[in-house]
Amino acid sequence: MRLNVFQRLVRQWDTVHPYNAAQILHLAGEPNLAAIRHAWRSTLSVLGLGPVHVRGRDYHFESVNGSAALYQVPLIPPDISLNDYVSQQMNLPFAETELPMRPFILQQDGSFYLGVVYQHWVADSASIRMLLHEWFVRIYDPTSARDFPARAAPGGYWKIFGPHRSRWRLGEQVLTLLRSASRFRRVRKLRTQGSSNYDMHFALHRVPSGLLEKLLVISKDQGVTLNDIFLGAMAEVCHQFNPIRHIPRRKDLALGMIVDLRPRSRRDLSRVFSLFLGFANVVCRPRDLRHWPDLVKHIAQQTRAHKQTDAPQASAVWMFAALVASRYVPIEKTFRFYRKHMPLAGGISNVNMNRTWAAKYHPDPLLEYVRVSPTGPMVPLVFSMTTLGKELLLGLTYRSALFSDELANTIAENFLSLLREWAECELSV
């Protein structure tokens, strides 16, 4: 398989600091260790996923048919919390000889977590959902298990999401890239403390029951999306708490959005195990940050424009430009490069699991679906919003050199407080 442009960028950052992610099933009952471990080995064999080998711009997964028994699923000691274990794993590099996915079991009182920490350049969220589905059904619903391997990607970004496949045009996007570079000169930059320490910490927060339904009603009535409301709350808390450098000409605040590109493809990518993500950004003006209905309205205008112009697919142009620029930027200065040219205050990854296989098995035995996104070189903290059933989870990942655990907890509490406050108000946009 050929490395696509996003994979090449992520692998560059992986040489500076691990760019790991995680997805975790919270399941009712007690874990059947023998069944779980057998199902894991079977899943690896069927999907054809073993250690990954890279040669130049090509890579392939080693077959584990004859060695699946080597790959165990460890039971984590019960005195270790989910937050602490995931945080440790997010900062732990993968060896070339091991699987690019680390499974684990973490037992609770009456329930347990079954999850995978993985090298993000190997797989996107959709790929790991496929992996977890096959693992899960081999334990709980064997008749639903599929016996055919994961597919290789049918091409790179240009072939699948290029202008001949989408609504964006190369010339227009080059001009947009130049305009964005000028626009980002007015966007706030982070302070530089901890610029050589990229360790991440993760904390899981549960959104109060019933709040999601209220927010959905408001968003529908006012013609905005739930994601627009999340971005508005993010902008407010980043404006208040982020360690921003105060430069007179830099008054605006920018946020990034990670987008799953698979639903935007004309090809069926449901069985493809690879990485197909795009991104877009919104910029918030100081006057909007003083009045949240205007803030959400301004954000919604930008996100609608992204959809109309296929901006997430067109982000491949920015990725290619970053790859070219990386030839002239020492790898240890990557963070400063992104901080200068794309100074994002935070990022969001928002997934509705009700549109996936998980909905069929919720709430019994699947209680929750937890997603963990890495920070990387562009954002200091990431809000991973995950909906399953009528419940909403917030997974907050943050750079520990820039945010103490106490400050990160304050950010999460204020974010949820804003959502509660807005749910009780009428959004006049």
Q: What is the pLDDT of residues 293-352, one digit of tens each?
A: 889 999 999 999 989 888 888 888 888 888 888 788 777 777 777 777 788 999 999 999
pLDDT at 194 over 60: no
251-265 pLDDT tens trace: 899 999 999 999 999
What pTM value is reported for the model?
0.94
pLDDT at 428: 43
Asked if the domains at 5-144 and 157-350+373-423 fall in one CATH topology, the answer is yes
pLDDT at 338: 76
User: Looking only at Cα atoms, what is the longest distance across the chain?
Assistant: 63
Q: Domain boundaries in the chain?
A: 5-144, 157-350+373-423
pLDDT at 53: 93
pLDDT at 211: 95
Pick 331 or 388 by higher pLDDT: 388
> Among residues 250, 232, 263, which one has the least CA distance to residue 166?
263
The mean pLDDT value for 413-426 works out to 89
The mean pLDDT value for 380-392 works out to 97
Q: Which CATH number is associated with domain 157-350+373-423?
A: 3.30.559.30
DSSP, residue by residue, 79-125: TS-HHHHHHHHHTSPPPTTS-SEEEEEEE-SSEEEEEEEEETTT--H
pLDDT at 129: 98
Percentage of residues in the chain having pLDDT higher than 70 = 95
101-120 pLDDT tens trace: 999 999 999 999 999 999 99
CB 421 within 8 A of CB 411: no
Percentage of residues in the chain having pLDDT higher than 90 = 65
Distance of CA 169 to the CA centre of its chain: 27
DSSP SS3 for 311 = helix
Topology (CATH) of 5-144: Chloramphenicol Acetyltransferase (3.30.559)
The mean pLDDT value for 130-156 works out to 95
pLDDT at 165: 78
Phi-psi label, residue 256: left if phi above 0, alpha if psi -120 to 50, beta otherwise: beta
DSSP, residue by residue, 223-277: T--HHHHHHHHHHHHHHHHS-EE--TT--BEEEEEEEE-GGG-SS--TTB-S--E
Which distant-in-sequence residues (6+ apart) come within 8 Å of 208 by Cβ? 416, 420
